Amino acid sequence: MTVDPSSRPLLVHMTSLGCPKNRVDSERLLGRLGETVTATEDMAAADLVCINTCGFIEPAVEESLRCIIEAAQVLAEVEPRPLFAVAGCLVGRYGQAQLAPDLPEVDLWLDLKEMDRWPALVAQALARRTATPPPVLREHRRLSTAPTAYLKISEGCNHGCSFCTIPSIRGRLSSRSPEELVHEARAMLAQGARELVIVGQDVTAYGKDAGLAYGLPDLLARLLELPGLDWLRLMYLYPAGITRELLGFIASAGPRLLPYFDMPLQHAHPAVLKAMGRPFAQDPRRVVDSIRAVLPQAALRTSLIVGFPGEGEAEFQALQDFVENTRFQHLGVFAYCAEEGTPAAELPGQVPPAEREARREILMARQKEISRELLETHVGEEMDVLVEAVSPEWPGLHLGRVWLQAPEVDGVTYVSGEGVQPGAMVRARIEDAKEYDLVALA
């Protein structure tokens, strides 16, 4: 069904916090609210103000609460006031009953347990507020990141890492059907996407809950058949799930399936990994070696936690040695946060916050040098650049990425020259390398 094109646009101010998986949820909500939905940056002019929150760690909780409070202050001066909705992980973690008394300005709380009903709940609330018929819902997703699109293949996680709140917020692993995912991917390519980024809490576990015979490789094979797809990228690969079979498939799948591995190793010392509840506590070097044995050209990204309970000088030195010897293309380092309700918060040997931050800075300082050294090896090469946007820094300059740079989390490639425009894939020569970025000329 479609909406009468003469009807007034539904103005929506959407803020999506946290990871790309949240962005997917926001895009689905916007798309399903109907064809008249129009995004607006002006909160006061909106019919709907929605904040899709993150609640994974304490800094994310604080950011979400700050964003809600700031929006409430703006909306207090607006008449008539837009519908104010709050969705996502903050609601999933604490629940409406705990949040609502302190945030009475929020009109509608959207819990993760009711994600399929979010569009209907919003439509009903809008209809009650304006005394008009609710928007006509449709099965659609409004892509906001072209020429890149995130494809969330599953929800939840079955792992029991001692520091993590995700299973309690998002629940256990629930995989979407291959047919549904191929249908959604085809629709996003039709909206201008050229790169699909596969995301989930644990991408390597895809299909295990549903008894799918071939799981991730079968899904990837179906996606690679879609016309219009230039790059297919995998994110959130749980290290224990990077098997010989998966590596063999990636190696034989062709250039569109990028040899890019985003795997959260979290640490390198066996005692710390064991305390974290990680299933490969003996030696994470084995998964790195297995990847490089099959795909020596692979770009590796990981995330590490410093200052975990029990991490002394020897354990931290082992982590430094691991970073030095492995030489990741991309590395994120996070100071440990003791999250309420997690087993790790009760462990002995808690590291002082100042020491956690100091260790984070040490690792990031070395990684900055490693990143530049690795990027410098590409100077002089001809590489494909996916152009994303006009750079605000200089006329004629654009922001893009080469295959070894994932959207939002890695560096960018500054590119200029013939045929360079947003949405284009251009062949360019790498002219220079910065600490995290490349400079190219088409």
Residue-range definition of the domain harbouring residue 403: 382-441
- Same domain membership, residue 372 and residue 388: no
In a domain, 3, yes or no: no
- Same domain membership, residue 119 and residue 32: yes
- Same domain membership, residue 387 and residue 372: no
The pLDDT of residue 280 is: 63
End-of-domain residue from the set 63, 98, 130: 130
The CATH number that applies at residue 423 is 2.40.50.140
The pLDDT of residue 213 is: 63
Q: Which of 208, 318, 344 is nearest to 265 (CA)?
A: 318
- Same domain membership, residue 389 and residue 372: no
Residue keyed to tokens 């596969």:
198
End-of-domain residue from the set 321, 344, 376: 376
The pLDDT of residue 4 is: 44
400: amino acid identity, one letter:
G
The DSSP call for residue 257 is B
Binding site listing:
19, 54, 89, 157, 161, 164
End-of-domain residue from the set 376, 409, 428: 376
In a domain, 142, yes or no: no
The pLDDT of residue 160 is: 81
The pLDDT of residue 68 is: 96
Binding site listing for [4Fe-4S] cluster:
19, 54, 89, 157, 161, 164
The pLDDT of residue 164 is: 85
The pLDDT of residue 132 is: 65
The CATH number that applies at residue 281 is 3.80.30.20
- Same domain membership, residue 233 and residue 356: yes
- Same domain membership, residue 305 and residue 192: yes
Answer positive or negative: Cα dihedral of 238, 239, 241, 244.
Answer: positive
The pLDDT of residue 8 is: 75
Contact 304, 332 (CB under 8 A): yes
- Same domain membership, residue 122 and residue 57: yes
251: amino acid identity, one letter:
A
The pLDDT of residue 55 is: 87
What is the distance between the alpha carbons of residues 237 and 169, in angstroms, rounded to a whole number?
Answer: 20
What is the distance between the alpha carbons of residues 345 and 314, in angstroms, rounded to a whole number?
Answer: 21
In a domain, 139, yes or no: no
The pLDDT of residue 369 is: 97
In a domain, 54, yes or no: yes
Q: Which of 274, 262, 266, 378 is nearest to 323 (CA)?
A: 266
Going residue by residue through the chain, which has 442 residues, state the pLDDT in tens, using 9 for 90 and above. Answer: 233 444 678 899 999 998 888 999 999 999 888 878 888 999 999 999 999 999 888 889 999 999 999 999 999 999 889 999 999 999 999 999 999 999 999 999 999 989 889 999 999 999 888 766 666 667 778 888 889 999 999 998 888 888 888 888 888 899 999 999 999 999 999 999 999 999 999 999 999 988 876 799 999 999 999 999 999 999 999 998 999 999 999 999 999 999 999 999 999 999 999 999 887 656 889 999 999 999 999 999 999 999 999 999 999 999 999 999 999 999 999 999 988 888 999 999 999 999 999 999 999 999 999 999 999 999 999 999 999 999 988 888 999 999 999 999 999 999 999 889 999 999 999 999 999 999 999 9
In a domain, 5, yes or no: no
- Same domain membership, residue 191 and residue 64: no
The pLDDT of residue 129 is: 80
In a domain, 141, yes or no: no
- Same domain membership, residue 264 and residue 187: yes
Contact 2, 35 (CB under 8 A): yes
What is the distance between the alpha carbons of residues 138 and 125, in angstroms, rounded to a whole number?
Answer: 17
In a domain, 143, yes or no: no
Question: Would you say how long the chain is, in residues?
Answer: 442
The pLDDT of residue 387 is: 96
Q: Please count the structural domains in the chain.
A: 3
- Same domain membership, residue 116 and residue 260: no
E strands in 17-147: 37-39, 48-53, 83-88, 108-110
- Same domain membership, residue 295 and residue 159: yes
Query: In the beta sheet, which residues pair with residue 330?
Result: 301
In a domain, 244, yes or no: yes
- Same domain membership, residue 249 and residue 174: yes
Q: Is 424 exposed, middle or buried (0-12, 13-18, 19+ CB in 10 A)?
A: middle
Residue 48 exposure: Cα atoms within 13 Å on the Cβ side: 32
The CATH number that applies at residue 93 is 3.40.50.12160
The pLDDT of residue 210 is: 83
